[in-house]
Chain A
């Protein structure tokens, strides 16, 4: 069993992206390998930030999973996070990549949503794959999570 964490990020919600990236960074910091498999709504967060696209693309653009209240709840949480000096998702992603974390984009989601590689932030993505890729990673992981 490899000392690895494999996370399926199905949600595109801002608070859940935080969970995935914090756990991934924690694993890397403690000497494990980490892979995050971005699928379905999660994949929207790897899309280039384009004002015209629906649902919205961009790492920081996800709604809150609860109490979003048309953005008001998110605004309030963002202010609290700012006060607590919580790192931005962009910083957490940059740290994750710097520490050797792997990002995989789900190809089936790309097909369903009509996304090409150019629509995504290819600089962040290490690999494109489907369920077989996830299973191969997960079967060698001490920890696997679905977020």
Chain B
């Protein structure tokens, strides 16, 4: 199972959400996506998208302006 890194630091709405979705589409079931970012709203919204997609949210760490989110496809 691969671990895929997505770097969205400095990116703003809607790029972090879109980049996570693009990475998830390319990932195989079981792969882990780790996304780092600095956009505050995305820290809340990426977990919302993960739930809507029925995937597993592994962790949300860091501050609103410097966070790491891990997702299992």
A contact residues vs B (CB 8 Å cutoff): 22, 25-26, 28-31, 84-87, 92, 95, 98-99
Least CB distance, A144 to chain B, in whole angstroms: 19
Least CB distance, B47 to chain A, in whole angstroms: 11
- What are the residues of chain A within 8 A of B15 when measuring CB–CB? 87
Name the interface residues of B3-22: CB closer than 8 Å to any CB of A.
Answer: 10-15, 17-18, 20-22
Q: Which range holds the interface residue count of chain B? A: 10 to 19
12 contacts between A and B (CB under 8 A): A28-B21, A29-B17, A29-B21, A30-B21, A30-B52, A31-B49, A31-B53, A87-B11, A87-B15, A92-B14, A98-B22, A99-B18
- What are the residues of chain A within 8 A of B12 when measuring CB–CB? 84-87
Contact between A85 and B14, CB atoms less than 8 A apart: no
- What are the residues of chain A within 8 A of B52 when measuring CB–CB? 30-31
A29 CA to B13 CA, complexed, in Å: 12
A95 CA to B11 CA, complexed, in Å: 14
Residue of B11, B12, B15, B53 with most partner-chain A CB within 10 A: B15
Contact between A25 and B17, CB atoms less than 8 A apart: yes
Q: Does B58 contact A (CB under 8 A)?
A: no
Query: Looking at the complex, which one of B10, B18, B49, B53 makes contact with A95 (CB distance below 8 Å)?
Result: B18
Contact between B17 and A26, CB atoms less than 8 A apart: yes
